[in-house]
Chain A
Amino acid sequence: MKSKPTDLLAVSLYGMDGRTHNTMILFFKNSCKGVVQIVEEHKADVDIIDADAMDAKVILDHCLARQPLRPIIILSLEKLNIEHTIYVAKPAKTETMLAALTEAKDRLKKQKEKKKTILKKPEDSILDTAKVNRIKPSIEKQVPFELSSEKKFYSNPLEQKKTEKHKAAMMINEQNFSNFIGIISGIDFNDPVQWRNARYSPKQYYQGYVQSSIKIAYEKRQVVKLNSDWKPLIILPHSHELWLDFDDKQLRAFSGVELTSSPIHDVKKMTLSKVNPKEEGFSAKLDKFQDMNIFVWKLACWTSKGRYPDTLDISTPVYLKQWPNFTRLVVTPHAMRIAALLVVGPRSMLDIIRTLKVRPQYVFVFVSSAYAIGILGQSKRRVDESIEIEMPKIKSAPKKNLFSRILNKLRGSDKA
C-alpha cells in the first residue's frame, strides 16, 4: 500500500547548489521511496546540511538557533562528530541514509512524548477566535499555566557578542534631523508643489545594489559578497545578517553618492561573488555583524535624505504590514506616529502629511525605509483609494493630554 503523505518525513535541504539539490531529490525519490518529502524550511521536521558547503558553519548555527530541537543530518566527506547532529558519510548510501532518517524520526517521537507529559491540558491557552475584539470573557477559570518548569532552549553564546546587531535605537528629533540625514538641494519642501519632485531612484545608489544583492542571496540561499571600489559587504541570508567593516559615518557618506553618475566611483566594479567563510575569516569578527533590516533601514534613511522612492506615487495610499522594530532602528521624527496611523489603514503620503501636520521629509524618509525593508507597499486596490479613513477618535481631550505628557516624560523633555 502506498504511504500517505502524512507518514512522510518532511525534510529541508541546505548548502546545496541547484544540481546537488536535484540529485538529492532523485536519491530520496528512488532510493528512499516513501520515506521523505522535500519541503520548505519552515515546514520541515528534519534538516539535512551539506557540511562541505562553503557556508556550512553559518547554516548549522542558523539551524541550531532557529529550531534547536529539530533533528539535523550532516552530510560530509570527512567524519564529523557534532553535538545534536546525525552524521552521514559521503557519498551517501541508501542504508546509511535510511538509518539516519530512522534515528531522526525516533528523536522526533521522543520529543513529542516529552512535550505531551509537560503540557497537559492546554485547552484554554489557545486563542480560538481570530479577532481579539471578538473574544468573549471566559467564564471558566484559566487552567494553570506551568511552562515555567521547562528548561531554557539552546542559546547561541556567540550571539551576545554581536553588539552592533543588538544595539539600541537611535532617536532623531526635528532639531537634529538635517544634521543626521543630510540636506538635499534643489527642492523647497515649504512649497507643496515641489513635493512631487522629491523623489529618488534607489537603483542609482548603493542602496539599490545592496537590495538586489540581498534578493539574489535569498533566491540562491547562498552567502554572497557585494564587491565595489569601496568596501565589501557580505550577505548571510540564512541568519538574516550582513557583515561589513565600515562605520556609520563612512556609510552615510557613501550612501548619498549617486553612483551611476559619479566621476569617482566605478559601478562596473560593483560585482557579486560567492563567499567561502573559512577563507574570508570574517566569522570571528562578531562585532561587525549587523541585522539585515536594521542596516537596510538605515541605508535607506541616508539615501533618501527626506525624499521618497520613485516607484511610489505620492497621492496613492500606502499600507504598513506591521510595526517596524523601533527599538533597534533609526527612529526619525514622527516615525512612530506615522506607523500608528498607517497600521489603522492605508493612506497616501500627502494625506499623512495633512493629517499629522508634519513636514513632508519626515513622511518620505519613513516611507523610504519601511519600503526598503519590505513592510510597506502601495495599495493596488481602487477601494483603498476611495475610502477616506478617519483618524481614530477614541480618546477624550484629557486623555490625549495625558498621553502627550507621558510621551514628553519618556522622551526626556519633562523633568518632573
Chain B
Amino acid sequence: MSQYKIIFTGPVGAGKTTAITSLSDVPMMKTDEVASDMTKERKAETTVAMDYGIMLLNGGEKIHLYGTPGQERFDFMWDILTVGGIGLVLLLDNSRADPFKDMRFFLKSFSDFIQNTGVAIGVTQMDVNTRLTIDDYHRELQELDMKIPVFSVDAREKKDVSILVQALMFSLDPGIDEV
C-alpha cells in the first residue's frame, strides 16, 4: 500500500504541532523538547526532530501528517520529508516580526515540492495581531504570481485546519466530488 503524506511547515510557534494534533486519529508522536537556543523566546518547547500524526481513511489507508522541525538548522531534513508528499500546509504566525519574509522563505524552500503538488497557507494569531490582513497576504502573493488559498487559522480548531486541508485538496483537483 502506498504511503501518502501531508507536510506541515512554517516558522517556530506557528502552530504546526497543534494543527497535526487537531487532525491526527492517533496520539501524536511529539518530539518537542525544551528550547535551549534563540527559539525559547517564542516557544518554551520546540520541535527538534519532527511531529508525526496519522489520519485513518476508510479501508485502512493512512495519511501521514508530518511537521517539519521549526528550527531551520534542521532544514536538511525537509527534502527527505517531502518524498511521497501530496501537498504542503504552510502555517505563518501573524505576530512575528516579518510574516511576509517567512512566507517567501518557506515558499522558496519548498518550491520544487509545491510545483509538483500544491500549497495552502494558514495564518495564525490573527486575533492577537491585526496589522496584516489576509488581503495583505494575497497582495504579497500576487507579486509572486501565486493564487493559493490563504486562510485565518486557529490551529487549535479542528474545523479551521480541516478547511485548510480541504482547500489544498481542491486546489490539487477542483474536480473532486463532494459528499
Residues on A lying within 8 angstroms of B by beta carbon are 65-68, 118, 122, 124-127, 130-133, 135, 137-138, 142, 144-156, 159-160, 162, 165-166, 168-169, 171, 173, 239-240, 321-323, 325-328, 331, 333-334, 336-337, 339-341, 343-344, 356, 391-392, 394-395, 399-400, 402-411, 413-414, 416
**Partner among B86, B109, B148 whose Cβ is within 8 Å of the Cβ of A142:** B109
Decide: A133 near B115, CB < 8 A? Known: A144-B73, A331-B163, A409-B57.
yes
**Partner among B42, B105, B150, B164 whose Cβ is within 8 Å of the Cβ of A148:** B42
* B129-179, CB < 8 A from A: 129-135, 138, 142-154, 157, 159-160, 162-167, 169-179
Q: Chain B residues near A68: list those with CB within 8 A.
A: 131
Q: Chain B residues near A333: list those with CB within 8 A.
A: 178
Q: Chain B residues near A414: list those with CB within 8 A.
A: 57-58
Q: Does B30 interact with chain A (Cβ within 8 Å)?
A: no
Q: Is the CB of A166 within 8 A of B127?
A: yes
Interchain CA distance A239-B130 in the complex, whole Å: 9
Interchain CA distance A414-B150 in the complex, whole Å: 26
Q: Does B114 interact with chain A (Cβ within 8 Å)?
A: yes
Q: Chain B residues near A341: list those with CB within 8 A.
A: 174
- Provide the B15-48 mask, 1 if CB < 8 A to any CB of A, else 0: 0000000010100000000000011011000000
Q: Does B80 interact with chain A (Cβ within 8 Å)?
A: no
Q: Is the CB of B129 within 8 A of A153?
A: yes
**Partner among B86, B132, B145, B167 whose Cβ is within 8 Å of the Cβ of A326:** B167
Q: Chain B residues near A65: list those with CB within 8 A.
A: 129-131
User: Lowest 6 A-B CB distances belong to which pairs?
Assistant: A340-B174, A340-B170, A145-B72, A149-B38, A150-B97, A327-B151
* B93-150, CB < 8 A from A: 95-98, 101-102, 104-105, 107-109, 111-112, 114-115, 122, 126-135, 138, 142-150
| Apart from the given pairs A147-B97, A150-B96, A406-B55, 9 other A-B contacts in the complex at a CB distance below 8 Å | A127-B104, A132-B146, A159-B129, A169-B163, A323-B149, A327-B163, A391-B174, A400-B173, A405-B61
Q: Is the CB of B145 within 8 A of A130?
A: yes
Q: Chain A residues near B81: list those with CB within 8 A.
A: none
**Partner among B38, B126, B172 whose Cβ is within 8 Å of the Cβ of A146:** B38
Shortest Cβ distance from A133 into chain B, in angstroms?
Answer: 5
Q: Is the CB of B101 within 8 A of A147?
A: yes
Interchain CA distance A327-B123 in the complex, whole Å: 11
Q: Is the CB of A148 within 8 A of B101?
A: no
**Partner among A155, A328, A331 whose Cβ is within 8 Å of the Cβ of B152:** A328
Q: Is the CB of B128 within 8 A of A160?
A: yes
Q: Chain B residues near A402: list those with CB within 8 A.
A: 4, 61, 86
Q: Chain A residues near B97: list those with CB within 8 A.
A: 118, 147, 150-151, 153
Interchain CA distance A327-B41 in the complex, whole Å: 29
Q: Is the CB of B126 within 8 A of A166?
A: yes
Q: Chain B residues near A392: list those with CB within 8 A.
A: 173-174
Q: Does B89 interact with chain A (Cβ within 8 Å)?
A: no
Q: Is the CB of B72 within 8 A of A325?
A: no
